[in-house]
Amino acid sequence: MHHFGNLDPELIYILDLVQYSLGRRIIHIRLADEPSHENTVLQSNPYKGAILGEFGSSLQVSPDVKTSDGQQFGIDPHNIWFTLDEVLYMKKNVNHQKK
C-alpha cells in the first residue's frame, strides 16, 4: 500500500491507474521521468508530492488531482482506484444502507 503522505513534497510524480486482465486495480506511483506501468489504463497529470498528499485514508476524490484526460478519480484505503461515477455510486449506496 502506498502512503501518499510519505512522498517527497517537492518531487514530481505521476499516478498510474493500473488494471490487470482479471480486473484487479491498483495505483502505481512513479516519478514523472520513469516509464509507466505496463498495465496502465489511465494516468494522472504530473503533480508534486505535496499535492498527492491530499489523498487520505478513506475513499476520496481530490478536486485537484485528475487524469491526463481531465477525469477525476477516487482512491480507497487499499490504493484501489475508482472512476468518479463508481465513487458516487458507492457513497450513495453506503449512505442509503445506513438510513
Residue 30 has pLDDT above 90, yes or no: yes
Rounded to whole angstroms, the Cα distance separating 58 from 76 reads 6
Phi and psi, residue 98, nearest 5°: -75, -20
pTM metric for this prediction: 0.82
pLDDT at 22 over 70: yes
* Distances in whole angstroms, Cα of residue 40 to Cα of each of 21, 26, 67: 11, 9, 12
Question: What is the residue whose three cell numbers read 455510486?
Answer: 89
Determine contact, residues 14/26, Cβ cutoff 8 Å: no
Q: In the block, which residue shows the cell 499535492?
A: 51
Per-residue pLDDT band for 57 (boundaries 50, 70, 90) equals low
Q: How far apart are CA 42 and CA 84, in angstroms?
A: 13
